[in-house]
């Protein structure tokens, strides 16, 4: 088994917390989104907020996924 890298583990924890934080920000908008009138328009400010929050979540999730993939690749390379 390869030696673990404490910095890698710290990065994983930080990245995971970041993804959870952005998920919480997304969840905080659920009531607002569910309340949108299906026959009405959505205010520009609401769309801007959704854009900002969803972009933050996408970036955080992609970063976490990339880190996990890198960790998997590194471990696979050491077991080959």
Tell me which residue range forms the domain holding 12. 6-32+42-75
Domain membership flag for residue 69: yes
Q: What is the pLDDT of residues 35-51, one digit of tens each?
A: 999 999 999 999 999 99
Residue 7's nearest CA partner among 74, 54, 61 is 74
- pLDDT (tens digit, 9 = 90+) per residue, 51-65? 999 999 999 999 999
The pLDDT value recorded for residue 9 is 94
Q: Please check whether residue 80 lies inside any domain of the structure.
A: no
Report if residue 37 sits inside a domain.
Answer: no
Instruction: Say if pTM beats, i.e. exceeds, 0.85.
Output: no
Q: Please count the structural domains in the chain.
A: 1
Query: For residue 16, what pLDDT is reported?
Result: 98
Query: For residue 19, is it within any domain?
Result: yes
Specify if 17 maps to a domain: yes
Report yes or no on 66 lying in a domain: yes
DSSP states along 28-41: TTHHHHHTS-TTS-
């Amino acid at each position: 088994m390869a030696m673990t890298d404490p910095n890698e583990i710290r990065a994983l924890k930080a990245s995971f917390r970041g993804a959870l934080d952005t998920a919480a920000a997304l969840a905080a908008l659920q009531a607002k989104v569910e309340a949108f009138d299906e026959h009405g328009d959505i205010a520009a400010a609401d769309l801007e907020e959704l854009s900002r929050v969803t972009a933050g979540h996408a970036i955080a999730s992609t970063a976490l996924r990339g880190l996990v993939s890198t960790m998997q690749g590194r471990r696979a390379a050491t077991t080959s």
